[in-house]
Amino acid sequence: MRHPLFPSKHISTNDNFYRAIKCTQCGKQFRDTSLANFHAEKSGHDQFEESTEEIKQLTEEEKRQRIEELRARLADKRAAREEEEKAASKANEALRRKSGKDAGKIREELQAKELAKEAERKKRGALASSLCLFLSAP
Ligand SMILES: [Zn+2]
């Protein structure tokens, strides 16, 4: 599978060496299109060029290992994020339960805030209309 953004040819000078694919957005180099694709998916980068350096080609086995390493790292990250989300939702739940108790108090506070906002709006409106009068005065 070849990414359409990638150069179509890799000029080999030797069977075991070929030019790397370089991400021009972050400078990372990739030994093959699947790694570059993986990077593109992960980072959203989509500017690639053929590097001028030649890199020793990995064996299929090495390639597979590398991709698996990357996948594992990504899975770790995902697991960590899920843990965080779980913790966050627990905290939210606790907050919700607590706020249920003080719901009356919170409602009062909100009302007071609304009233203050309303007063502020009125003040600003008055200011704006007097400014309009001032500006339209001959
Ligand atoms: Zn990149």
| Structure confidence by residue, pLDDT tens digits, 44-79 | 999 999 876 666 667 788 888 989 999 999 999 999
**Structural domains of the chain, count:** 2
**76 within domain boundaries:** yes
Q: How far apart are CA 48 and CA 109, in angstroms?
A: 55
Same domain, 28 and 43: yes
Identify which of 52, 108, 42 has the alpha carbon closest to the alpha carbon of residue 75.
42
Report if residue 135 sits inside a domain.
Answer: no
Residue 36: which of 63, 65, 11, 6 has the closest Cα?
6
**Domain range holding 27?**
1-57
Residue 25 and residue 48 in contact, taking contact as beta carbons nearer than 8 Å: no
**Of 11, 29, 57, which residue is a domain's last?**
57
Q: What is the pLDDT of residue 136?
A: 63
Distance from Cα 12 to the centre of ligand 1, integer Å: 24
pTM of the model: 0.30
**Residues 6 or more apart from 18 whose CB is under 8 A from it?**
10, 11, 12, 54, 55, 57
What is the Å distance from ligand 1's center to 92 Cα?
A: 36
The answer to the question of residue 134 being in a domain is: no
| Structure confidence by residue, pLDDT tens digits, 15-50 | 556 678 899 999 998 888 899 999 999 999 999 998
Task: List, in sequence order, every beta strand (DSSP E) within the chain.
Answer: 17-23, 29-30, 48-56
105, 72: one domain: yes
Query: Does 71 lie in the same domain as 51?
Result: no
- Is residue 87, in this structure, part of any structural domain at all? yes
Is residue 20 a part of any domain in this protein?
yes
Please answer whether residues 51 and 22 qualify as being in contact, where contact means their C-beta atoms are separated by less than 8 angstroms.
Answer: yes
Question: Which residues have a beta carbon within 5 Å of ligand 1, which is an ion?
Answer: 23, 25-26, 43, 45
Q: How far is the CA of 59 from the centre of ligand 1 (A)?
A: 23
CA of 18 to the centre of ligand 1 (A): 20
User: Residue holding tokens 């739940």?
Assistant: 93
Please tell me whether residues 90 and 80 are part of one structural domain.
yes
Q: Is the dihedral of CA 44, 47, 52, 55 positive or negative?
A: positive
